[in-house]
Amino acid sequence: MTRTTSTADRSTIFHLFLSWILIAATVVSPVFSAAQSVTVTGKVTDEAQQPLAGATVSVKGKPSTGVTTDARGIFSIKAGPGELLLVEFVGFQPQEIKAGTKELNVRLATLPASLNDVVVIGYGTVRRKDLTGAVASIKGSDIKSQGVSDMTRSLQGKLPGVTIESAGGDPGSGTRILIRGVGTLGNAAPLYIVDGVQVANINNISSSDIASLDVLKDASAAAIYGSRAANGVVLVTTRSGRSGIPVIQFNTNVGAQRLARKMPVLNARQWANVSNAAHDAAGLARLDIAKNPDSLGTGTDWQDAIFRTGIMQQYDLSVSGGSENGRYSVSGGYNDQQGIVDVTGYKRYNLRVKSDTKKGAFQFGETILLTREKWIRTPTGWGGQGGGPVGSATKMIPVFSIYDTSAPGGYAGAYGPVVNVANPVAQLHLEDINYELTNILANAYGEITILPGLKYKLNLGYTNTFGSNYDYYHRYQVGTLFSHPTNDISMAKDQTNLVLLENTLSFDRHFGKHSLQALAGYTYQQTKYSYTSASKTDLPDGIDVLDAGAGTASTGGNRTQSDLVSVLGRAIYSYDNRYLLTASFRRDGSSRFGSANRYGNFPSVAVGWNIANEQFYHRGSLVPTLKLRASYGVLGNQEIGDYQYSAAISSNINYVTGVDQHKWFGAIQTAFASPNIKWETTKTSDIGVDAGLLDNHLNLTLDYFIKQTSDVLLNVPIPGSAGSSTNPVVNAGTLRNNGFELGLNYGNHAGALEYNFFGTLSVIRNKVIQLGTGTQQIFGGQPTHHGASTTVTQAGGPVSAFYLVKADGIFNTQDEVNNYSKNGTLVQPNAAPGDIKFFDANGDGQISDADRVYCGSPFPKFEYGFGASGNWRNLDINLFFQGTSGNKIYNGLRQDLESMSLEFNYSTATLNAWTPQRHTSIPRAVINDPNFNDRTSSRFLESGSYFRMKTLQIGYTFPAPRLRSMHLTSVRAYLSADNLFTVTKYSGFNPDIGRSINNPTSTNVSQSSGILNRGVDFGHVAYPIARTFSAGVQISL
Amino acid sequence: MNKIYITTAILAVLLAGCAKKTLELNNPNQITTVTYWKTEADVQSAFAAAYALFRDVDGGFWGVRGVELSNGRGDDFFIRNDVSYLYQLSTFTNVPDNAAATNVWNVCYKAIFRANQILENIDRVTTLSDNARKAYVAEAKFIRGINYFTLAINFGDAPLRLKTPQTTPDYFVAKSPEADVWAQVKKDLTDAAADLPLSYPSQWVGRATKGAAVAYLGKANLYTGNWTDAATALRSLTQSPYSYSLMPNYGDNFVAGHENNAESVFEIQAGDVGGTNPWAGENGNQALGVTTAQEFAPAEVAGWFEVSPTDKLFNEFQKEKTTANDFDPRMYATLAWNYPGSTFYTKPFSSFALVFGFQSMFKKYQNYNQTGEITGASGAADYSSSNNERALRYSDVLLMLAEALTMQGQTADAYPYINQIRHRAQLADLPAGYGKDALMAEIRHQRMIEFAREGLRFYDLKRWGLLPTEIASSDKVGRQFYVPKKFDLFPVPQAEIESNPAMKQNDNWK
């Protein structure tokens, strides 16, 4: 084992060594001659004559001569008489000017708004006007602080084609991002790159640190990331300083969060009445605790007992600045969020340093990002059937009380013949779970300009993610059902290291009407993961270290490694700003595959046509800007576990033997290897239009795409009789997503009022073309603790389509039961009046899983977001709305709460249960439910469409003259509301469901929340999303 | 510019050379099948992994779900509606996706896959003596045979897999008729009986012996109505070289203090060793005991009270008093109920609530001498009991032998074996002169009370053809939902049908 590690280490060193050879080889490159040069000085301003700091001035054709303007816009450069100077500044039209003897005055004109942007693409940037791929971008300044700790949550609905869903309401739980639908059945999470370095997620990035977030959606844009890009790429660029006067900014936000909607469940008296009716109907004795309903009163409101107003606070301080030779940006932040469920919470500390330094032909820079996060989590269920505290709070019978001072631990709980639902307050206080995560991201680069336009860059990236899990059980006796005689502790440490090495050569030149941007590179990336765990039982009260435990100890640990070696190349060519061509290629070699299929090639090509720049085009028309784009490319996915290609022997499958009953160590092959698996490949075609209308006040981006994934990597279920413990990963099928996405933006002003309207619309269709053995069905989406699956993935339908037995009304009379027969036998022999009639879809005369039929898709027909922002004098306002339409949600919590079959609390809907006198749509109350009214069926499938007022923010900027005396540049104060209201028919906590992810560092979102579980509200472990009100201040010095 | 080309070219060549090595990684966590199967220790570890499945918490036939499955359908057993799939199988409302049945199916085939691996790889271990090799082959066949036995009695028709799958098409095997499954059971057990040792040194006690293979062979013949073969095999166990005998105290068979005793023919080993979590799955954290006792214990001692004996069983025990006019000692060892001076978990029985309306609770296999069910060394919330599950006791050998003889009309030969059982239970000798039917009635009565909670009742009723009448005459919850033939066997699990194109559902379940 150690041998392989050292081989890997050696290869890292080898790669580093290679890079330095390359640098040495290039350093001795061209020496510039500047004969007879004189010093030319000048000033660069914008159209309003305001000085532009940081503009670049160079002798045309000799970028290495470049200097930047200072805070007053002044530059000084050595140039030969008559040589042309090129003056450039991002967002402005470049200008050429002849060097003379007198001081130059250069006035730069701004570029039209939409073309102004620089879009970050992999390994470089491109001006939006030259862009041929589908890239959705958002500027840091547009990511408004909304009193949410997680920046990605505020992006919901703002990026066309990008679905952002909460991964649970737990503080710090993060989001799930899906780009252009679900293109795989495994891990559908995009590739996240922060300042050039791959990270597991971006939940730990502070929104005030973000300069831009760019989402590469189509193959042409993403192909440069090859085998990891099939699910799209999210590029986060953190803020850089700007040359000029240092800027010091301080932002703070303080807010409060509340549960948006409580589940309507029965109080003690109501519960006893329903329970008694259910027992009477079943011919069973009533429960002792329910015998006297009227004496019970309302009992305990378990939801009130765990939900609270969560206070949250955020503070960010940043300092940035720079000179001609360098720029810097340093920021720090603190974020503290109490969960709306008692005890739970999230804290984060951020520190970030970023700088660039230029000298002559050399440029160096780095990003260092340090974060520390701490979660206080909810327990995940105590062996019983309540699940987490939120699930327990809805199901716990209100007759039981919260506290019992005489019990070990101090809490009361359930007793008698009821289902094992734990006291949620006890759960929260008797098990302490926290997770701390320290994240280091360091990235440094050196760049040298070898020839005009030709640069070599060496980039070294490193991340170290160090997680520490702590789980302490206090000894307790909670009611009669939950007993934990000793204090126990378990601790676990995990560490992920990533080393990245990139060598790139880039070339950027204009030749007359030709412009060429080329890139070639070689990269190496190594990821190492290790895990150690230890636990011990029987600790003294108040002590929480392993050494103190007197009972059983257990330990565990493992490690994995994966390597990726790649060569890449790209050319972006444009002719006369009219015809654009982008071609890219990447070849990846991955250690995750066996030797036969180790390498994959990922080419892409895209073309663009700026019609508006054609001679024949009438510039003054209604559409002054118009560009057509088309692209095609191949992307890959390698997100499977490591070492899947070899047949492994699993160990610690132990048994007991001998008179002394000792442990007998066991080991054997338990699963089949997948020696021949290969890359999952996604072919994407995209056509798009970018247009500016109404004097470019209205900007529009429209794309249509087809994304076909073949050789989908999937653990395909094999027969249990094959004897394997897990399903082997195979290249199992083909999926297709196609859709439209539209982004609109209209900005204008009327007098002092500046306003902006924006919106996005995404329409995505998802279809499984072929799967496994052909008739393969893959089931998923378990909705309750013991419930049957709800979804099927099979050829011809969407991924994880709802596939359910259909509920077909209620039998109102015994005749109706008797008439529902086939060849003389009753279809539902166990039914009585008041029971649900199920549809015998296959006509075999009985109700079984074979009667499941397609009942809808968890994917919306369309998703949208729209908003408005306005400024009037010192006031500003932001509104944002967002929603989905046409998707279904399976309400797992309702399946439990409306069941009346088991002994726990029920929904208030059961007050209206069917009786012979009162025919309703809620079936009769009957314990043990012989007709399975509560079986997994279409009865619990609901519309998931919703429309939400996501954000309302009103701000006031204090007048500048008064601030100056206080040495302040600007001060803005605001009030903000998040999730103000939601219009939906969905009856669960929230239509924006999400199963909690237990390990936030996990890159494999699917393992914890699962593509095949989409649209299934597993209420059992829910954590509802909160409504937030907050106030904030933004101060610049 | 040339320099760049040259540098790039050199770089490309160097990279091509090193990339291959960089990407060639070995899994540091596990060894592979290529390097395994070198030593006898490898073989022994493979056996631990195969035996461990008997006790698998979620599908081992003697793990907690398996015990609930094998007992749950009997007329003597009630399972409450807490874990719905168990309630459903016990009330004959189960459907093909029943998790308990699916898991038993899957775990049997996992064990068969592991036994087949041993059979296929044993020759790669070149250091073994011939005798050792033969004994290991016999032991692997024993494990395979027992698992096919479990499949035959629960599912009837089942795929026969005698080799490990090598390519994808090998995953998909059609089912064979029940008769072929029985033939394989007998073949494996015959082969096993030939080469297994009579006993093991103390550190290996608990593994399959020659006696265990012979007993199961006899049982397989009894279940298939081959009375002569059954009698031959079972009778041999009453003679030298075997030395089985009944424990003088019946209750000693079900407490941790008397494991692997003289009455034990095959026993599933459980110990509160290993990790602390019985539900951890196959890894080092897994507690190696059984959680059945916690599941069955009453709430008052932190159990989950998932099951209860029916009053039919309670009454059956009282049909005959001992020679001292007391309750049958087997009743005291099997059930806890409210008689004068009755204690349970060291407390008066009256401090326990009979929450289901039945009059007794199960005491057999419970750790009732403790003050609570959860006082194990691990201290974990899911207590794991060290009490071994007795898979096949010598008293079963005697009663099966008596049955095989009775069914051949050799009633006189059957008497002494029945009387051994009665003597231990302090019952008077059976009056002479019973005919075949009367003797069978006595055997059926004895089996019902001798083996209550040991997972035999439902399968006995099935082979006697008495399921319809006995279930109908019981106070079992769900008796009205029993459909003859259909609920005698579990359907082929839904997951197997869905993933195996060669698989067809049983006719009674179509």
Is the pLDDT at A838 greater than 60, yes or no? yes
Contact check, Cβ <8 Å, B27/A650: no
Task: Report the gap between the CA of A26 and the closest CA in chain B (Å).
Answer: 7
Which backbone phi and psi does A642 adopt, to 5 degrees? -75, 155
CB atoms within 10 A of CB B122: 19
What backbone phi and psi angles, to 5 degrees, belong to A883?
A: -175, 180
B133: which residues sit within 8 A by CB, 6+ positions away? B122, B123, B125
pLDDT confidence of residue B23: 76
Average pLDDT over residues A936-950: 93
Q: Is the pLDDT of residue A477 over 80?
A: yes
pLDDT for position B382: 54
Does pLDDT of A1002 surpass 70? no
Q: Which pair of structure tokens corresponds to residue A681?
A: 């490949």
What is the per-residue pLDDT across A129-140, written as a single tens digit (0 to 9) for each? 778 878 888 877
CA distance A427 to A306: 10
pLDDT band, residue A558 (cuts 50/70/90): confident
Most confident of A219-233, B269-283, B298-312: B298-312
User: pTM for the full model?
Assistant: 0.84
Q: Tens of pLDDT along A573-611?
A: 988 888 999 999 999 999 888 888 889 999 999 999 988
- The model's pLDDT over A23-51, given as tens digits with 9 standing for 90+, comes to 444 443 333 333 456 788 888 877 666 67
User: In sequence order, what are the residues at sequence separation of 6 or more whose Cβ sits closer than 8 angstroms to the Cβ of residue A228?
Assistant: A191, A198, A564, A636, A637, A638, A639
Which two three-digit tokens encode residue A186? 């495994």
**pLDDT higher than 50, residue A1009:** no
Select from A530, A469, A468 the least CA-distant residue to A497.
Answer: A530
Nearest CA-CA distance, residue B157 and chain A, Å: 12
Q: For A48-64, write each residue's pLDDT tens digit.
A: 666 777 788 888 777 67
Residues of B in contact with A788 (CB under 8 A): 97
Q: Which amino acid is at A1010?
A: G
Nearest CA in chain A to B56: A655
Tokens of A606: 């895209």
Hey, is A604 helix, strand or coil?
A: strand
**HEC readout, B273-302:** CECCECCCCCCCCEECCECHHHHHCCHHHC
Average pLDDT over residues A299-303: 95
Residues of B in contact with A29 (CB under 8 A): 3
Report DSSP state, residue A265.
B
Closest CA to B451 of B404, B386, B399: B399
Q: In what order do the strands lie in the sheet with A84-88?
A: A62-68, A56-59, A84-88, A95-98
A 866-895 near B (Cβ less than 8 A): none
* pLDDT confidence of residue A1011: 74
Give the HSE-up count for residue A739: Cα atoms under 13 Å, Cβ half-sphere: 28
Q: Do B48 and A554 touch (CB under 8 A)?
A: no
- Does A589 contact chain B (CB < 8 Å)? yes
pLDDT of residue A1028: 87
> In this predicted structure, what is the pLDDT of residue A150?
63
pLDDT value, residue A5: 41
Q: First-to-last CA distance in chain A?
A: 56
Distance from CA of A800 to the nearest CA of B (A): 16
Cβ A888 vs Cβ A1015: under 8 Å: yes
- Using a CB-CB cut-off of 8 Å, the residues of chain A touching B302 are 477, 480-483
Q: Please answer yes or no on whether B269 and A655 come within 8 Å at the CB atom.
A: yes
DSSP A307: B
How many Å lie between the alpha carbon of B474 and the closest alpha carbon of chain A? 17
| Bridging pattern class, strands A970-984 and A1016-1017 | unpaired
Helix, strand, coil percentages for chain B (3-state, nearest 5): 50, 5, 40
Q: Give strand pairing partners of A362.
A: A359, A448
Check residue B298 and give its pLDDT.
Answer: 92
CA distances from A500 to A15, A421, A481, B415 (A): 10, 48, 52, 82
- Chain A residues touching residue B105 (CB < 8 angstroms): 720-721
Per-residue pLDDT averaged across B405-423, rounded?
97
Residue A9: what pLDDT? Answer: 53
The residue in chain B having the minimum alpha-carbon distance to the alpha carbon of residue A531 is B29
Query: For residues B192 and A644, is the Cβ–Cβ distance under 8 A?
Result: no
Give percent of chain A with pLDDT exceeding 70: 91
Name the residue of chain A whose CA is nearest to B258's CA: A659
Q: Do B25 and A8 touch (CB under 8 A)?
A: yes
Residue owning tokens 């300083």 = A241
User: Using a CB-CB distance cutoff of 8 angstroms, which residues of chain A are in contact with residue B353?
Assistant: 416
- Helix H, strand E, coil C: the string for A543-592 is CCCHHHCCCCEEEEEEEEEEEEEEEEEEEEEEECCCEEEEEEEEEEEECC
Mutate which of B1, B43, B82, B163 to test chain A, going by most A C-beta atoms within 10 A? B82
Question: What residues contact residue A981 under an 8 Å CB cut-off, 6+ apart?
Answer: A948, A949
Taking Cα atoms as reference points, which of B268, B310, B312 lies closest to residue B288? B268
In this prediction, residue B15 carries a pLDDT of 53
Residue A1007 has pLDDT above 60, yes or no: no
Give the separation between CA A362 and CA A376, rounded to whole angstroms: 47
Q: How many CB atoms lie within 10 A of CB A680?
A: 28
A1001 pLDDT tier (thresholds 50, 70, 90): very low
Q: What is the mean pLDDT of chain A?
A: 85
The β-bridge partners of A581 are A573, A607
Label residue A111 by pLDDT band (50, 70, 90).
low
Among residues 482-541 of chain A, which lie with CB inside 8 Å of chain B? Answer: 482-486, 488, 503, 505, 520, 522, 524, 535, 537-538
In angstroms, rounded to a whole number, what is the distance separating the alpha carbons of residues A581 and A579?
7
Residues of A in contact with B382 (CB under 8 A): 383
Nearest beta carbon to residue A658 from set B14, B204, B380: B204
Contact A657/B207, CB-based, under 8 Å? yes
Share of chain A above pLDDT 90, in %: 41
Q: Pick the closest to residue B164 from B107, B102, B109 (CA basis).
A: B109
Concatenated DSSP letters of B176-216: BPHHHHHHHHHHHHHHHHHHS-S---GGGTTS--HHHHHHH
> Does A912 touch chain B if contact means CB atoms closer than 8 Å?
no
Q: What does the pLDDT look like over B110-129, one tens digit per residue?
A: 999 999 999 999 999 999 99
CA distances from A871 to A176, A250, A907 (A): 33, 22, 47
Residues forming beta bridges with residue B347, ordered by sequence position:
B344
Give pLDDT, residue B6: 55
Q: Contact A650/B493, CB-based, under 8 Å?
A: no
pLDDT score at B234: 98
Structure tokens of A288?
């002792």
More confident residue, B230 or B14: B230
Higher pLDDT pick, A1002 / A156: A156
Angstrom distance (rounded) from CA A545 to CA A862: 52
Residue A256 CA, chain-centre distance (Å), reads: 24
Q: Which residues of chain B lie closer than 8 angstroms to A590, CB-CB? A: 23
Torsion from C-alpha of A101, A107, A108, A110, nearest 10 degrees: 180
DSSP E strands in A46-121: the ranges are 56-59, 62-68, 74-79, 84-88, 95-98, 104-107, 118-121
Question: B18 and A15: CB-CB below 8 Å?
Answer: yes
> What is the average pLDDT value for chain B, to the nearest integer?
92
Residues in Cβ contact with B245 at an 8 Å cutoff, skipping those fewer than 6 apart: B262, B263, B394
In 10 A of CB A724, how many CB atoms?
21
Average pLDDT over residues A1023-1036: 87
The mean per-residue pLDDT over the stretch A513-537 comes to 91
What DSSP designation does B493 have?
A: P
Q: What is the DSSP string of A700-752?
A: EEEEEEEEEEES-EEE----GGG--SSPPEEE-EEEEEEEEEEEEEEEEEETT
Query: What part of A 556-585 touches B (C-beta under 8 Å)?
Result: 556, 558-563, 565, 567
Q: Calculate mean pLDDT across residues B472-490.
A: 94
Confidence tier at B421 by pLDDT (50, 70, 90): very high
pLDDT at A18 over 60: no
Predicted confidence band at B48 (pLDDT cuts at 50, 70, 90)? very high
pLDDT in tens, B126-144: 999 999 999 999 999 999 9
Mean pLDDT of A104-109: 79
* Residue of chain B with shortest Cα separation from A723: B110
- CB nearest A718 (choices: B33, B171, B284): B171
Task: Of A549-558, A816-825, A914-923, B305-314, give the lowest mean pLDDT range.
Answer: A549-558
pLDDT at position A57: 85
ipTM confidence score: 0.93
pLDDT band at residue A997 using 50, 70 and 90 as cut-offs: very low
Of the candidates A537, A591, A773, which has its C-beta nearest B25's C-beta?
A591
Q: Which residues of B touch A661 (CB under 8 A)?
A: 259, 269-271, 273, 386
The shortest CB-CB distance from B269 to any of A559, A657, A775 is to: A657
Average pLDDT over residues A335-348: 92
Q: What is the number of other CB atoms lying within 10 angstroms of the CB of residue A994? A: 23
